[in-house]
Amino acid sequence: MIYFDNAATTKPCEEAVSAAVKCMSECYGNPSSLHKMGIGSEKVIDSAKKTMLSRLNKEGEIYFTSGATESNNLAIFGTARALKRRGNRIVTTAIEHPSVSEPMKKLEEEGFEVVYLKPCECENFEDALINAVDEKTILLCFMAVNNETGFIIDSKKVYNSVKKRFPSCVVHLDGVQGFCKVPLFGDTISLSAHKIHGIKGVGALYKAKGVRLLPNVYGGGQQGGIRSGTEPVDLICAFEAAVKAYPQNITKFSELRHTLIQHLEQLEGIILNSKNSVDNIVNFSVQGVRSEIMLHFLEEKGIFVSSGSACSRGKVSPALSALGVSDKDADSAVRVSFSLSNTEEEIGRLAIALAEGIKRFRR
C-alpha cells in the first residue's frame, strides 16, 4: 500500500498513539476536577499548550477544539461578532477551505460585507491582500497553504504589513496545511492534529494577547469560557506528542517533489497545477482522464491519491478555479501529498501506474 493522501489526513505516529493510550489509562481525570487526578490532567493540557506555542514561536493563548473546522468557526464568528460595532468589512480569499468559506457566507447573511480575492486575478497575491484591507476592515482571513495545490501565501509579509497600517484589523490564519512546514503569522491561527500525524478529533486555536474573541459554544466555561466542554486530554496529549515528533527543517519533501516532477515530465499531457507551493503537495492534471477514473485505477494498484481535494467530494472546486485551473483541467486533477515515510521508490511506482492509466483511459 502506498499512501499519497497526506493532505487529507496522516497516519497517527507511534509517539501520538502511545501518548494517547498512556494518557487514557493513567490520566483520565477531568481537568476541571479539583482533586489530584484533575490536576494531573490539567498539567497535561498546560504542557501541550506550551509545546504548541513554542512550535509556533509565539506567546499568547491556545484553545483546544475538536479540529480546525471548529477553530476556524470560532475565530471567524468569534472575532467578527466581537468587532461588529466597529465595522462590517471582511477580506478573505476565494481559495479557502469550506470551514472558512461557509462561515463567511453566514456572516454575509448577517449583514457583513465580505470581499473575496482570487490569486488568478492578482500579480502578487500578498500585495493584493495587503492593499484590500482598509480602515473599515475588521477581519482579514486567509490560509497559509492551500490544501488543494499547496499554494503558499506568505503570512509573515501580509501580517506585518497589515498590522503596521491597521493595527485594529484582526488577522486570522488557517494554518492547518502550513503547521510544522512554514512560519505562521496571525492574531489567531487554526491548527489540526490529524494533518501532522496526530489523532483525528482535536485541533487548536492560537490567539495573541489582547485579541477579543466571543465563544461559539456555551457551557461549563472551560478554557476561559472561550470553548466550553471537557477537554479530550488523551487527544491533546497525542497532539503534543505528534508536534514534538515532527522534525524541523525538512528537506525530504523537496527531494520527493523533484523526483515526481521529473517523472511527470516524461508523461505526455500532464499539466502541473501546483505553482508557488509547498513541497509536500503536488497537484497535476492528467489531460483526457477524469480524476475519479485515475483515482480508482491507482487504488486498484494499491496507491492512494486524491482527486483535487478530499473536501470537495467530486464537485468542481472553486479554489482550483480561483487558482487559475480551468474547469476541464480541474476535472482531471490529481493531488499527491507526501508524508515523511514516503520514498523515491514509491514515486517510481506511481509514475508507472500513471503511465498505464493514461494508456488505458485517455480519450
Question: From the list 74, 143, 211, 241, which residue makes contact with ligand PMP (rule: CB under 6 A)?
Answer: 143
Report 298-327 residues binding ligand PMP (CB under 6 A): 311
Asked if residue 177 binds ligand PMP (CB under 6 A), the reply is: yes
Smallest gap from residue 98 Cβ to ligand PMP (A): 8
Residue nearest to ligand PMP (CB): 67
Asked if residue 6 binds ligand PMP (CB under 6 A), the reply is: no
Q: For residues 41, 206, 309 and 2, what is the CA-based torsion angle, rounded to 10 degrees?
A: -50
Nearer to ligand PMP, 97 or 197 (CB): 97
Instruction: Say how many CA atoms lie within 13 Å of 174 toward its Cβ.
Output: 27
Asked if residue 178 binds ligand PMP (CB under 6 A), the reply is: no
Q: Give backbone dihedrals phi and psi of 58, rounded to 5 degrees, phi first.
A: -140, 165
Question: From the list 203, 215, 232, 357, which residue makes contact with ligand PMP (rule: CB under 6 A)?
Answer: 203
CA 222 to chain CA mean position, Å: 25
Ramachandran area for residue 154 (φ above 0: left; ψ -120 to 50: alpha; else beta): beta
Residue 161 and residue 155 in contact, taking contact as beta carbons nearer than 8 Å: no
Question: From the list 79, 99, 285, 306, which residue makes contact with ligand PMP (rule: CB under 6 A)?
Answer: 99
The closest of 58, 105, 40 to 205, measured between CA atoms, is 58
Strand 137-143 and strand 170-174: the pairing is parallel
Nearer to ligand PMP, 118 or 349 (CB): 118
Asked if residue 277 binds ligand PMP (CB under 6 A), the reply is: no
Q: Is 311 a catalytic residue?
A: yes
Beta bridge partners of 170: 139
Smallest gap from residue 276 Cβ to ligand PMP (A): 16
Instruction: List residues with catalytic annotation.
Output: 311
Could you list the residues that contact ligand PMP (CB under 6 A)? Answer: 67-69, 72, 97, 99, 143, 147, 174, 176-177, 192, 203, 311
